[in-house]
A and B are shown apart, each in its own frame.
Chain A
Amino acid sequence: MAAPLSSVSKTSAERLPFNTTSFQKKTRSKLISIPGTRPSVQNGQLLVSTGVTSLDYLLGGGLAVGTVLLIEEDRYDSYSRMILKYFLAEGVVCQHELFVAAAQDNPDDIIQELPAPILDDVAIHKPVEQPRLPCEPPDNLDAMNIAWRYQNLPKVQSALASSSRFGHYYDVSKTMEPEIRQAAKFHRFYLPEHLAQPSTTHSPMLESYSALLKSLQEVIHKEGFDLAAPMSKSRNILRVGLHSLGSTLWGDDLSCHDNPKHRHALTTFLYGLRALMRSSLSVAVVTVPSHLIQDRALMGSITRLCDNAIALESFKGSERETNPLYKDYHGLLHVHQVPHLNCLASQLPDHKDLAFKLKRKQFSIERLHLPPDLSETVSRVSRGELAGATSACGSGTSGTKHLDF
């Protein structure tokens, strides 16, 4: 289940009957707060940040724990990959655990490309210093001369303190420092390393997806993310990033053929993924190269099997790149689906026409607005240019009739 805040603390067997209101007082004992999460203001869902603050806002405050976010990749997989990296970087900063699966690039490479967080309250883990010999005077170059009262206070914390903020900003021109990166626990699944096992069932799921699902379940069980697992002192969130599912490198022909043979491989996998997410403290981001999938009905099924769904459409390579109207943006963003878990109505964003721009320190998503038309000359169109234009008014016959005035 997408964990509502109070049930994190109780197993299903000992859950008290619900109150009629969804308001949960903070004074309930046994409430465990997990760093990097916050409850939703709408329905008490436990939310995590995607790493992109404007995307959090669009999704209703953040990604609910136990749900799946589908990102339909842009044509060259530049921005969708960026969002995946933001998501994983956010996990590192919040000290969540990561699970990265890819068929094309080594997950280690993906982790090394994570953007550097712009933080002032996260300390970098310094290597433990050699213990000094007691005879050496404890003087160092940093002896304070003016603020000597604070001399004996402990220095910068040696452990990586988790940031208490929800949602951080990242500098895409720099990669995350290795010290911060290595502090996070990271599980990987790289398809070429897994031997293909022949499937024993006639299930429509491919071996690659079965192996991935099995590996994910093992991690969830072993690391204690199961909701049914006995309560320990500290719970954490597992962030699952699955890159480019449905592409040919996973063995799927969904993106190749109009009528794919493995029509239901990815949808069956997504069903299993949803089952895993609902029963554990994890959240998944899946990217799919939807621009290669010809069957719109199948894309619809894939979207419905995920809880959140957004699609990125970048201007690169299209005629819009040079269009002065779109010069402020890198592409369009479409929100296809927003979940309504534990409540009746979903909160779709107000505006449907959204555009995004990847700036150095922020991935901004805003409502597309066209700049005013400030062209200085209004040119008169001569007869020759009109010949190409089709007539808008009147006849249903040929468009070669044109008006001379």
Chain B
Amino acid sequence: MLTELLQGIEAGGFLVIQDSCSYSGRHLLKSFINAALNRAEVVHVLGFDVSEEELKDGLRTSDTQRLHIHSAYTDPLGWTERPAFTVHQFRLEDLTDLVKQTPHPKPATLIIDSLSWILRHVTPPAVCKTLHQLRKGGAVRAVIGLLHADMHQRGTVGSVCHLATSLIAVAPGAKGDEAVAKITKRSKFRKVMQDEEIFSLNGDFTVTIHSKRSNPEQNWNDAEEEQVDPTAELTFNLRLSDSELEAKKKLMLPFVFSKEKLATLSQPAFLK
């Protein structure tokens, strides 16, 4: 499913790449950018997290007319006199203006790196509303956003992902280069497809899929170890039956003194 997504997101689609501290989803994001550029699409990038140089590193920059990077990295809050793009400009009007600045016949794909930065300064309802309006409006064709899931409350992450048509959650894999992607895709007819794939990224940000797990539920069953029952094959009894318990209680231990013993001892045979 990952390759399908890389081949193109449907119009009006919203893809969220969820990552965490342990594995950064930015490289996968760059794969999507490269794939879009290869398809001769126009790409606008809102860069908050990393600098423009870092974003451009590895991308196909030969067609500079189609790739537009709006870097909000140096001054996202407007602390200097001439900010390029601030986080408060994340609104439908400003974004539409931004995209329309560079006229192209085709509607563009908007890449947001990262949604987490915006969510720290703009309330989640406002962000969700802007994203929804972007999708419905005609200015951009599709939106791809990077979200750091460990930076927000679960509800915030859930609300933003609820709007998404596709969701890729990446995590580090077992081996060094590999990573695991859990993909959820909602198609037009509200059908939900899920998949889990192991992939790795090559030098030019193309993706190599290593294996597919067609049935992710099976995987979870395997993960649970079978409960080994230690009492299965024993050579002794762990439990006593009731009659055995009674017998145990009645058992007279050798050196415990009792009336019967006294009677036995006072027999004339012993006194001699």
Contact = CB atoms under 8 A, between A and B. Distances in A.
Direct contact of A and B (CB under 8 A): yes
Interface of A: 394-396, 403-405
Interface in B197-252: 227, 230-231, 238-240, 245
Contact of B230 (A394, A403, A404, A405): A394
A403 B227 contact: no
11 contacts: A394-B230, A394-B231, A395-B230, A395-B231, A396-B227, A403-B238, A404-B238, A404-B239, A404-B240, A404-B245, A405-B240
Interface string B110-134: 0000000000000000000000000
A169 to B, nearest CB: 54
A378 B227 CA distance: 37
Contacts of A394: 230-231
Nearest to B236: A405
A404 B240 CA distance: 7
Nearest to A397: B227
A395 B238 CA distance: 13
Contacts of A405: 240
Contacts of B238: 403-404
Interface residues of B, number: 7
A358 B25 CA distance: 60
Interface of B: 227, 230-231, 238-240, 245
A218 to B, nearest CB: 38
A206 to B, nearest CB: 29
A104 to B, nearest CB: 40
A395 B227 CA distance: 9
Contacts of A403: 238
Contacts of A395: 230-231
A384 to B, nearest CB: 12
A395 B240 CA distance: 19
Given A394-B230, A396-B227, A404-B238, 8 more contacts: A394-B231, A395-B230, A395-B231, A403-B238, A404-B239, A404-B240, A404-B245, A405-B240
A405 B245 CA distance: 10
A405 B238 CA distance: 8
A302 to B, nearest CB: 26
Nearest to A393: B230
A356 B227 CA distance: 47
Contacts of B240: 404-405
A396 B230 CA distance: 11
Nearest to A394: B230
A396 B227 CA distance: 9
Contacts of A404: 238-240, 245
Contacts of B239: 404
A73 B240 CA distance: 54
B229 to A, nearest CB: 8
A5 B227 CA distance: 66
Nearest to B240: A404
The 3 closest A-B pairs by CB, nearest first: A404-B240, A394-B230, A404-B239
Contacts of B231: 394-395
A401 to B, nearest CB: 9
Contacts of A396: 227
A171 to B, nearest CB: 57
A107 B169 CA distance: 61
Nearest to B239: A404
A57 B38 CA distance: 72
A394 B230 CA distance: 7
A405 B237 CA distance: 10
A307 to B, nearest CB: 32
B241 to A, nearest CB: 10
Contacts of B227: 396
B227 to A, nearest CB: 7
Contacts of B230: 394-395
A15 B238 CA distance: 80
A396 B238 CA distance: 17
A403 B238 CA distance: 7
B206 to A, nearest CB: 44
Nearest to B241: A404
A404 B245 CA distance: 9
Nearest to B227: A396
A404 B246 CA distance: 12
A377 to B, nearest CB: 15
A405 B236 CA distance: 12
A21 B227 CA distance: 63
A396 B224 CA distance: 14
Nearest to B245: A404
B248 to A, nearest CB: 8
Most chain B CB within a 10 A radius of its CB, from A395, A396, A403, A404: A404
A394 B232 CA distance: 12
A317 B53 CA distance: 65
Nearest to A403: B238
A283 to B, nearest CB: 41
A394 B238 CA distance: 12
A396 B225 CA distance: 13
A394 B229 CA distance: 8
A396 B228 CA distance: 11
A164 to B, nearest CB: 58
A107 B238 CA distance: 68
A107 B202 CA distance: 72
A394 B239 CA distance: 15
A396 to B, nearest CB: 7
